[in-house]
Amino acid sequence: MSLSSRAVCPTELSWCRAVPTGTGITVLALLFSKPPDVPFLENALRSLQSSHPILNSKLRFDPSSNSFSYVTPQSPYLQIRPFDSQSTAHILRSPNPNPIPPLHLILEHELNTNSWQNPHPSSDTDLFFASLYSLEGGNSVLALRLHTSACDRAAAGALLKELVAFMEAKQGIQGESGKEMKVSLGIEDCIPSGQGNKPFWSRGVDMLGHSLNSFRLANLSFKDTASPRLSRVVRFKMSEEDTGKILSRCNSKKIKLSAALAAAGLIACHASKRFPDEQWEKYAVVTLMDCRPALDPVLSSQHIGFYHTAIMHTYDIHGGEKLWELAKLVHSSFMDSKSKNKHFTDMADLNFLMCKAIENPSLTPSSSLRTSLISVFEDPIFDPPNKLKETMGFEDFIGCASVHGVGPSIAVFDTIRRGALDCALVYPFPLFSREQMNDFIDRINRILLKGI
């Protein structure tokens, strides 16, 4: 079999270090009310692998150099793993007294299925997995699980759209079969000339500042810092009417929805602790942005891989802050850093600090591996309507990534579906409890509604 390979870039390497600890397992879970055609779905997914070589790659670990590389065979390999209704029922057993929908529970199960936990030098590990869960009553869930170094949030959204388009058209996707399959360059190799440069002393000062700040950062109150961790999800939805009002208010104030969500999270966290008046805490917000439009060459969202960067800011919250005033501050801080190319100049610093936190958990509060209170994406994903409900019984989907290794206390994956806000909020359990997170989300909801 013909193979091509390339070493992972530094940002991809940081994810290769993070995923084995439990952060960076990307999952798309799709609910169908009709039994899907498995050979057809398998063919569709293999066509996607042919179109996007990184999805067809395997991860190879070299212990002598402690490095990773992508190895890409010529032919797609993916097979859908089936779970019958009995096996699925076993997975769906939950100790939670409140009923949780099967789609939600299967998503959490996949987020905590870590195929990359123990990289083995003698075998290559797939980057893309698919499972089909059969539910009672004829429903089923298709779960796609990917290594985040190969598929960021924008890529996952594009992947889902391609799959939906393929299923709607019922015809094959034109892949690259017959050509040499090569994985595209990593993000560091596509940064425009001069935009990623940072003087040595500036890098040292910034690294010291980030390190010292990490000890001062506050989070939600920790419930259990000793037990093994999993990723759990709270789903947060708003009506189309309320979503429209929030988006309208964001537009009128010339800020992004992500800033409003982050501001509501900061206010909600401080309020949950019921401090005396004016007692303040310092919280960190990480904003992730899709850099494809800013790279050289410019990449489209259909370009699968990891091309996101992060910008971190800290805020002193005293209590009593107004939503839109704080959102304006969050937005302006982010846009100012973006205009100075800090999404490129700070990339190496944040990757280094993430790896150091993995190696030395004591560098984070209570050794929790929490690097910020909340992470948001600069822009939501807008999900267009599709015809699959009629043809295949496509009912619902959730997409997000795990965070129970290194990462934020809560990661926000926001989508606008048919004009309504639909968020998957991922958090580490039992570091935080589901009841605690439900209360936190209720506070965010009330703050947003009060703001409109």
| pLDDT tens-digit readout, 384-406 | 666 666 667 888 999 999 999 99
Predicted structure pTM score? 0.93
Residues 275 and 183 in one domain: no
Higher pLDDT, 164 or 179: 164
CA distances from 428 to 112, 230, 265, 373, 409 (A): 11, 6, 16, 12, 7
Residues 227 and 98 in one domain: no
| pLDDT for res 120 | 72
Calculate what percentage of the chain has a pLDDT beyond 90. Answer: 67
Amino acid identity for residue 297 in this structure: P
179-203: average pLDDT = 77
Higher pLDDT, 344 or 388: 344
186-200, 295-309, 372-386, range with greatest mean pLDDT? 295-309
> pLDDT-derived band of residue 95, with 50, 70 and 90 as boundaries?
low
> How many C-alpha atoms does 24 have within 13 Å on its Cβ side?
27
Residue with tokens 């129970």: 404
Domain of residue 128: give its range. 3-187
pLDDT in tens, 258-274: 999 999 999 999 999 88
3-state secondary structure of 18: helix
pLDDT in tens, 28-63: 999 999 888 899 899 999 999 999 999 999 999 988
Residues 234 and 98 in one domain: no
Residues 136 and 252 in one domain: no
Nearest to 419 by CA among 379, 384, 378, 377: 384
The CATH number of residue 183's host domain is 3.30.559.10
Residues 254 and 346 in one domain: yes
Positive or negative, the CA dihedral 226, 228, 231, 234 is negative
Residues 206 and 77 in one domain: no
Rg (CA), the chain: 21
Residue that terminates a domain, selected from 141, 171, 187: 187
Calculate what percentage of the chain has a pLDDT beyond 70. Answer: 90
- The total of other beta-carbon atoms located within 10 Å of residue 169's CB is 9
Two tokens at 328? Answer: 């304006």
Contact 198, 345 (CB under 8 A): yes
Residues 164 and 264 in one domain: no
117-137: average pLDDT = 88
Q: What is the mean pLDDT of the chain?
A: 89
pLDDT at 177 over 70: no
Residues 131 and 213 in one domain: no
pLDDT at 164 over 90: no
Contact 347, 341 (CB under 8 A): no
| pLDDT for res 205 | 54
> pLDDT-derived band of residue 176, with 50, 70 and 90 as boundaries?
very low
| pLDDT for res 178 | 40
pLDDT at 346 over 80: yes
Nearest to 412 by CA among 385, 445, 450: 445
Higher pLDDT, 268 or 276: 268
Q: DSSP assignment, residue 448?
A: H
> pLDDT-derived band of residue 2, with 50, 70 and 90 as boundaries?
low
Task: List CB contacts of 134: < 8 A, sequence separation 6 or more.
Answer: 35, 82, 83, 84, 85, 88, 140
Higher pLDDT, 39 or 177: 39
Q: How far apart are CA 250 and CA 253, in angstroms?
A: 5
Q: DSSP assignment, residue 20?
A: G
| pLDDT for res 199 | 63
Domain count, the chain: 2
How would you list the strands of the sheet with 80-83, edge to edge? 80-83, 128-134, 140-147, 23-32, 394-403
- The total of other beta-carbon atoms located within 10 Å of residue 371's CB is 26
pLDDT in tens, 405-444: 999 999 999 999 989 999 999 999 999 999 999 999 999 9
197-225: average pLDDT = 72
> pLDDT-derived band of residue 13, with 50, 70 and 90 as boundaries?
very high
Residues 419-436: b if buried by 16+ CB within 10 A, e if exposed = ebbbbbbbbbbbbbebeb
Amino acid identity for residue 84 in this structure: D
Residues 219 and 351 in one domain: yes
3-state secondary structure of 186: coil
Task: List CB contacts of 163: < 8 A, sequence separation 6 or more.
Answer: 44, 45, 48
Residues 172 and 207 in one domain: no
Residues 315 and 203 in one domain: yes
Two tokens at 101? Answer: 């929908």
Residues 172 and 204 in one domain: no
Residue that terminates a domain, selected from 187, 216, 240: 187
> pLDDT-derived band of residue 123, with 50, 70 and 90 as boundaries?
confident
Q: Provide φ and ψ at 307, rounded to 5°.
A: -130, 30
Q: How far apart are CA 418 and CA 101, in angstroms?
A: 21
Strand (E) or helix (H) holding 82? strand 80-83
Two tokens at 383? Answer: 């999900």
Contact 421, 235 (CB under 8 A): no
Residue that terminates a domain, selected from 187, 204, 228: 187
Task: List CB contacts of 433: < 8 A, sequence separation 6 or more.
Answer: 223
114-134: average pLDDT = 89
243-251: average pLDDT = 97
Q: Following DSSP, what letter does each residue of 33-63 receive, concatenated? A: SS---HHHHHHHHHHHHHH-GGGG-EEEEET
